[in-house]
């Protein structure tokens, strides 16, 4: 089967769709298994550190086998069709999500048995850098305007992963590149706007100094693009703040009652600015609060 770029019909290439579909199914199976094991408690009680380590430790070797056993034609560097980049970014995002649950420093009562926070952190950053690398390749080859909407999720998790490692130059460079890409996405997709706003506010709340290279971009986004009244009210997804989700699963940081979903979280932290002239509080469409009268 042949693939060609759309709408710019520049070149024809083998699509590898069959190879990708089979491999995607295998990766989905691993994701579903990991999610079920981590979220098996319907009451959503936090999972113990050791239990999380055991789950990640059993899934990770299978993820590594998955990437090694990919058909040669869709291995890294073999083809530049966009859906192969997306498949690899999905793999790296899976790793960032799983190891992201284990990178918080240990409590005094905890000890590492299988995976240390440092190891988890390094593994997450390596994968975030890989996502940035593949986005750069996609951008060079096909431009970023024609990328699939799925890329928004991989970029979001990579941005959250790099956020607390900006002192390291390679992370900082990758973060700046991905911020630029997220800004492009935000012009097209409302969800990407919400993600970019979450990154901005999360950095502020965590006292993280964002790279100066992103100042102009983020200022422009805040002033000319993000409309706290109009945009945030339209967000109704259960898209989580990834850093807080990781803390929730492992019982660190915020309390169970604190919001982690994008709409409620933005409403809480952007809410003060969203008061309407008549003093009404921010409206949450899909959250727990009733809509404004
Ligand atoms: Zn193939």
Burial classification of residue 52, based on how many CB atoms lie within 10 Å of its CB (0-12 exposed, 13-18 middle, 19 or more buried): buried
CA atoms within 13 A on the CB side of 211: 23
Which range of residues forms the domain containing residue 193? 17-275
Mean pLDDT along residues 123-130: 98
Distance from residue 205's CA to the centre of ligand 1 (Å): 46
At 286, the pLDDT band (50, 70, 90 cuts) reads: very low
Mean pLDDT along residues 81-85: 93
Q: 174 lies in a domain? A: yes
Distance from residue 81's CA to the centre of ligand 1 (Å): 11
Q: 285 lies in a domain? A: no
In this model, does residue 288 exceed pLDDT 50?
no
Distance from residue 236's CA to the centre of ligand 1 (Å): 38
Please enumerate in sequence order all residues whose Cβ is within 8 A of that of 293, keeping only pairs 6 or more positions apart, or say none: 280
Distance from residue 7's CA to the centre of ligand 1 (Å): 23
Mean pLDDT of the chain, nearest integer: 84
In this model, does residue 206 exceed pLDDT 70?
yes
Distance from residue 72's CA to the centre of ligand 1 (Å): 7
Distance from residue 14's CA to the centre of ligand 1 (Å): 7
Q: What is the pLDDT of residue 287?
A: 34
Distance from residue 145's CA to the centre of ligand 1 (Å): 25
Distance from residue 131's CA to the centre of ligand 1 (Å): 22
Distance from residue 16's CA to the centre of ligand 1 (Å): 4
Q: 263 lies in a domain? A: yes
Q: What is the pLDDT of residue 236?
A: 60
Q: 284 lies in a domain? A: no
Distance from residue 71's CA to the centre of ligand 1 (Å): 7
Mean pLDDT along residues 218-227: 86
Q: 286 lies in a domain? A: no
Distance from residue 137's CA to the centre of ligand 1 (Å): 20
* Sequence-ordered strand ranges (E) for the chain: 2-4, 12-14
Q: What is the domain count for the chain?
A: 1
Beta carbons of 109 and 48 less than 8 angstroms apart: no
In this model, does residue 5 exceed pLDDT 90?
no
Please enumerate in sequence order all residues whose Cβ is within 8 A of that of 97, keeping only pairs 6 or more positions apart, or say none: 157, 242
Calpha distance 246→99 (Å, rounded): 9
Distance from residue 75's CA to the centre of ligand 1 (Å): 9
Distance from residue 89's CA to the centre of ligand 1 (Å): 18
Q: What is the pLDDT of residue 65?
A: 98
Distance from residue 185's CA to the centre of ligand 1 (Å): 29
Give bridge partners of residue 14 from the DSSP assignment.
2
Higher pLDDT, 127 or 276: 127
Distance from residue 73's CA to the centre of ligand 1 (Å): 5
Distance from residue 249's CA to the centre of ligand 1 (Å): 38
At 254, the pLDDT band (50, 70, 90 cuts) reads: low
In this model, does residue 273 exceed pLDDT 60?
no
Higher pLDDT, 12 or 111: 12
Higher pLDDT, 63 or 233: 63
| Percentage of the chain exceeding pLDDT 70 | 85
Q: Model-level pTM?
A: 0.84
Distance from residue 74's CA to the centre of ligand 1 (Å): 6
Q: 99 lies in a domain? A: yes
Measuring CA to CA, which residue among 112, 154, 162 is closest to residue 134?
A: 154
Distance from residue 25's CA to the centre of ligand 1 (Å): 15
At 47, the pLDDT band (50, 70, 90 cuts) reads: confident
Distance from residue 91's CA to the centre of ligand 1 (Å): 18
Q: 163 lies in a domain? A: yes
Q: 30 lies in a domain? A: yes
Q: What is the pLDDT of residue 108?
A: 73
Distance from residue 153's CA to the centre of ligand 1 (Å): 25
Ranked by mean pLDDT, the top range of 32-36, 131-135, 223-227, 278-282 is: 131-135
Q: What is the pLDDT of residue 258?
A: 66
Range with the lowest mean pLDDT among 43-57, 112-126, 132-146?
A: 43-57
Q: What is the pLDDT of residue 272?
A: 53
């Amino acid at each position: 089967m042949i693939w060609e770029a759309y709408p710019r019909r520049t070149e024809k290439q083998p699509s590898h769709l069959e190879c990708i579909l089979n491999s995607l199914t295998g990766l989905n199976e691993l994701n579903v298994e990991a999610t079920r094991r981590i979220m098996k408690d319907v009451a959503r009680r936090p999972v113990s550190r050791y239990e999380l380590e055991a789950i990640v430790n059993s899934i990770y070797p299978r993820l590594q086998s998955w990437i090694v056993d990919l058909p040669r034609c869709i291995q890294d560097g073999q083809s530049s069709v966009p859906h192969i980049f997306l498949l690899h970014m999905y793999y790296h995002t899976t790793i960032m999500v799983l190891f992201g649950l284990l990178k918080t420093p240990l409590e005094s009562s905890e000890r590492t048995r299988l995976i240390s926070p440092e190891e988890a952190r390094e593994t997450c950053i390596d994968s975030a850098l890989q996502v940035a690398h593949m986005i750069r390749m996609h951008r060079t080859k096909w431009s970023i305007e024609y990328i699939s909407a799925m890329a928004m999720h991989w970029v979001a998790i990579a941005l959250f992963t790099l956020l607390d490692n900006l002192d390291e130059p390679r992370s900082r460079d990758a973060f700046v590149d991905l911020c630029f890409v997220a800004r492009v996405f935000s012009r097209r997709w409302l969800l990407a706007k919400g993600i970019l706003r979450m990154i901005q506010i999360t950095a502020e709340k965590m006292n993280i100094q964002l790279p100066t290279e992103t100042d102009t971009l983020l200022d422009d986004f805040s002033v000319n693009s993000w409309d706290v009244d109009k945009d945030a009210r339209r967000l109704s997804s259960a898209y989580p703040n990834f850093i807080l989700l990781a803390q929730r699963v492992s019982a660190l940081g915020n309390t169970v009652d604190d919001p982690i979903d994008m709409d409620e979280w933005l409403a809480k932290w952007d809410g003060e600015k969203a008061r309407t002239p008549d003093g009404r509080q921010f409206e949450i469409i899909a959250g727990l609060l009733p809509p404004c009268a």
